[in-house]
Structure 1
């Protein structure tokens, strides 16, 4: 049996697909296959795949676009490996990624069913470097979350303290991925943590404390779409959310912060402020919040200036009205 099946779902990403596939083929373990699921691409993806004269690369093609979760599940169905490892087609792996994860599992008992690792974002340019440096300094004041185990990881994942990032970091036993039913095809967001929560019902996850995945920053759906998906995700785990919040986890407050940042980034500052008022904000979140606000201001400068002027005038008129009442009494 093949040791690892690497599953790469892709849709119209011919420009980045080669980098992803090559980073899988360049792993320091040889016993692997790369299952690339072309999810109905209309660009040059077919030509990119046809150029690989490599028996370890196995293309699977969807006639129409069916979504990333369906594509990952197709990959699980076609996997021949003992383990499956997921890689988004715009991300890339460190050459020793799979070797380090397999070593972490081999050092543990059989109830450890998978491993994940840390990631680094490709934040190019001076603004990206400044943002990363600020986040690193401020994160030192945070309490370190639990990153290994099963039950103890559930609360951390729900509270977004731990982000296993199943789409590009997770290595998990193939039989477990199939047993839990793969990725939930109803979800457009939060599918990665939701999949990991179901994996944790079958066994433990190990954490490799190294940045072995480089991820591209991608676009986000509209904030209202994220809000609806967030409500759906938390409602699926309502009992667990209540249980872990009773144990001290600030799950709903953390998700309010996630939504606040999306609204800030769209320039909808009042809606963002409404969500952030009961949010959980730690020092490590400050750079992200500031960045989101700055992005929103750059995106809608005229609307935000108009809002600021309106608020100033309303405040001034309110104060004038109060002063006038005092003087006439």
Structure 2
């Protein structure tokens, strides 16, 4: 039985996938199994994975595309490790990631059931530093990483004050994953966040204060896709949202502001401004990101 089962769901990422697999196999904690779940890719994913001559690599294939949540559940059902570790197929781990997280959990009491770590976002080499700073300000909405705790962190997540990159940072005790029945397959976005909230209702989340995940630039979903996913997410946690808003936390407004930024970046200014008017008042630190969002929208409209 391996210590950690690494679940890598993938769909048409044959070019990036070896980076993720290699980083999982090259861990200083070598007692791992790497379960790659191919969600019906149509590129060279099969040849990429089957080229690995390593008994720790297990390749599972969906006959039809079922989405990331279903792919993760397929991997979880096949896993035999003491811990489940999640890794997106276009991300990469530092070599000590799993060792540091497992050590952290094993030093603590039984109430600590999961761990995440710091993230390094790798931008394009020729990117303008000022533009990248604006993107950062826009993307985190004043969020932070590094918080530890249990169910009290649900508020921070719903208010978008805490971003964990759970889809590639999270390590969770397998017993907990089984107890919460894995991922909710009705989610095609926000699935990692929804999963993490349910983990937090089972025990505490620890943090390893090192940038052990490397994320690369990639295109995101459309604003309409985010809007639909956001509505499903808030509906799922409606009880928690109502409770927080009765205490004065503007959960809905915070999410409307985030949607405004998405629509403004796409050059859909009427929709973006309507969400901005309905959303939470931006903090001063968020204004440069908002300006960047408008500039991206102008650029998008000029190019069409």
Which residue of structure 1 aligns with residue 283 of structure 2? 282
Alpha-carbon distance in structure 2 between the residues aligned to 1:154 and 1:128: 35
Which residue of structure 2 aligns with residue 298 of structure 1? 299
The answer to which structure has the higher helix fraction is 1
For the pair 1:223 / 2:202, whether they are aligned, the reply is no
Pairing of 1:54-93 with structure 2 (within 5 A) = 54-93=54-93
Pairing of 1:170-319 with structure 2 (within 5 A) = 170-280=170-280, 281-301=282-302
TM-score (norm 2): 0.92
- Runs of at least 5 residues in structure 1 that lack an aligned partner in the other structure: 304-329
CA pair 24-277 structure 1, distance change in 2 beyond 3 A: same
CA contact (8 A) 2:143 2:163 kept: no
- Aligned-CA RMSD value: 2.3
Paired positions, count:
302
Alpha-carbon distance in structure 2 between the residues aligned to 1:154 and 1:77: 26
Q: Which moved more, 1:269-278 or 1:119-128?
A: 119-128
Give the C-alpha shift of residue 224 in structure 1.
2.1
Residues 23-63 of structure 1: CA deviation (Å, up to 9, x unaligned) = 11111111111001111111111111111011111111112
CA contact (8 A) 1:2 1:31 kept: yes
CA contact (8 A) 2:8 2:87 kept: yes
Q: Secondary structure at the match of 1:254?
A: helix
Alpha-carbon distance in structure 2 between the residues aligned to 1:148 and 1:177: 19
CA pair 18-144 structure 1, distance change in 2 beyond 3 A: closer
Alpha-carbon distance in structure 2 between the residues aligned to 1:258 and 1:95: 34
CA pair 180-297 structure 1, distance change in 2 beyond 3 A: same
Q: Secondary structure at the match of 1:214?
A: strand
CA pair 292-132 structure 1, distance change in 2 beyond 3 A: same
Question: Larger Cα Rg: Structure 1 or Structure 2?
Answer: 1
Q: Secondary structure at the match of 1:72?
A: helix
CA pair 284-34 structure 1, distance change in 2 beyond 3 A: farther
For the pair 1:104 / 2:104, whether they are aligned, the reply is yes
TM-score (norm 1): 0.85
Give the C-alpha shift of residue 284 in structure 1.
4.1
CA pair 38-190 structure 1, distance change in 2 beyond 3 A: same
- Runs of at least 5 residues in structure 2 that lack an aligned partner in the other structure: none
Q: Secondary structure at the match of 2:231?
A: helix
CA contact (8 A) 1:138 1:283 kept: no
Which residue of structure 2 aligns with residue 46 of structure 1? 46
Which residue of structure 2 aligns with residue 8 of structure 1? 8
Alpha-carbon distance in structure 2 between the residues aligned to 1:250 and 1:134: 24
Give the C-alpha shift of residue 236 in structure 1.
1.2
Q: Secondary structure at the match of 2:100?
A: helix
Alpha-carbon distance in structure 2 between the residues aligned to 1:143 and 1:194: 17
Q: Secondary structure at the match of 1:115?
A: strand
Residues 75-98 of structure 1: CA deviation (Å, up to 9, x unaligned) = 100111000101011111111111
Alpha-carbon distance in structure 2 between the residues aligned to 1:26 and 1:2: 15
Q: Secondary structure at the match of 2:196?
A: helix
Alpha-carbon distance in structure 2 between the residues aligned to 1:251 and 1:282: 15
Q: Which moved more, 1:64-73 or 1:294-303?
A: 294-303
Which residue of structure 2 aligns with residue 20 of structure 1? 20
Residues 153-174 of structure 1: CA deviation (Å, up to 9, x unaligned) = 0100111111222211100011
Pairing of 1:113-132 with structure 2 (within 5 A) = 113-127=113-127, 129-132=129-132
Alpha-carbon distance in structure 1 between the residues aligned to 2:123 and 2:86: 22
Give the C-alpha shift of residue 288 in structure 1.
3.2
